[in-house]
Amino acid sequence: MFQIVALCQEAIQAQHRRAASPGYGLDDYTEGRIVGAANLARKLLRVVSGGEPFVDGQRGEVGGPSRN
């Protein structure tokens, strides 16, 4: 579990570092990947921490681990 949290935190920090760097906004492809990874990391942290389950944006269905 610790490794998942550490990887998620690194993805979020990468977004913060990129946003604070000179030239931010010039490379849409790379920045889009970094933002997408940070977004996924935030969702994973919410699920892992027992917070609200994520919602599938295309179908509007609640996702996440089974609560059986």
Domain containing residue 13 = 1-68
Number of domains, the chain = 1
pLDDT at residue number 59: 45
Task: Dump pLDDT digits (tens) for 17-49.
Answer: 999 999 888 989 989 999 999 999 999 999 888
pLDDT at position 66 over 70: no
**Core vs surface per residue 27-47: b (16+ CB within 10 A) or e:** eeeebeebeebbeebebbbeb
How far is the C-alpha of 19 from the C-alpha of 12, rounded, in Å?
11
Torsions phi, psi for 47 (to 5 deg): -70, -45
Q: Is the dihedral of CA 37, 38, 39, 42 positive or negative?
A: positive
Give per-residue pLDDT as tens, 45-64.
998 888 766 565 544 444 54
pLDDT band of 67, cuts 50, 70, 90: very low
Task: Give Cα 22 distance to the centre of its chain.
Answer: 23
